[in-house]
């Protein structure tokens, strides 16, 4: 399978704490993206990190990428109850016959308690 793995599958924290989610993948990539999904609805793009980048920030989000280990992490700082959602990583292999296709990890269900 070209899909990745994420851990933990579920994460439960208090408001104000940080949440860290990890993603591993199997093939070389063009970029890796993180998405959020509320209650089984459409996905919202959060952040994209290219294969030649190691770290990226966007607001309370911090993403790291280690291509040698084929892994990425998403850190949400100072979490809020509104951050409760499922978070997915997705790899864009971006070449050849797979150009433009995204392969998703299993996702992490984050619950933030007020």
Partner 1 sequence: SAVISQKPSRDICQRGTSLTIQCQVDSQVTMMFWYRQQPGQSLTLIATANQGSEATYESGFVIDKFPISRPNLTFSTLTVSNMSPEDSSIYLCSVGGGSNYGYTFGSGTRLTVV
Contact status: 33 vs partner 1 (CB under 8 A): yes
Among 56, 62, 70, 106, which residue interacts with partner 1 (rule: CB under 8 A)? 106
Give the binding range for partner 1 (CB under 8 A) out of 11-19, 25-33, 67-75, 77-85.
Answer: 25-33
* Cα(13)–Cα(15) distance, integer angstroms: 7
Contacts of 106 (CB under 8 A, 6+ apart): 3, 4, 5, 6, 9, 88
Residues whose CB falls within 8 Å of the CB of residue 6, separated by 6 or more in sequence, listed in order: 21, 22, 23, 24, 87, 88, 89, 105, 106, 107, 108
Residues of span 53-92 touching partner 1 by CB under 8 A:
88, 90, 92
Among positions 48, 56, 61, 75, the unique one binding partner 1 when judged by CB under 8 A:
48
Residues that bind partner 1 (CB under 8 A): 3, 30-31, 33, 35, 40-48, 50, 88, 90, 92, 94, 97, 100-107
């Amino acid at each position: 399978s070209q899909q990745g793995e994420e851990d933990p599958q579920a994460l439960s924290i208090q408001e104000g704490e940080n949440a860290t989610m990890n993603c591993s993948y199997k093939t070389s990539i063009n970029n890796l993206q993180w998405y959020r999904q509320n209650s089984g609805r459409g996905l919202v793009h959060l952040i994209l990190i290219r294969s030649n980048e190691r770290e990226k920030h966007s607001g309370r989000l911090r993403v790291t990428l280690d291509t040698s280990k084929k892994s990425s992490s998403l850190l949400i700082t100072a979490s809020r109850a509104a951050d409760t959602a499922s978070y997915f990583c997705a790899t864009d292999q971006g070449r050849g016959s797979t150009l433009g296709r995204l392969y998703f990890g299993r996702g992490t269900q984050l619950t933030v308690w007020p």
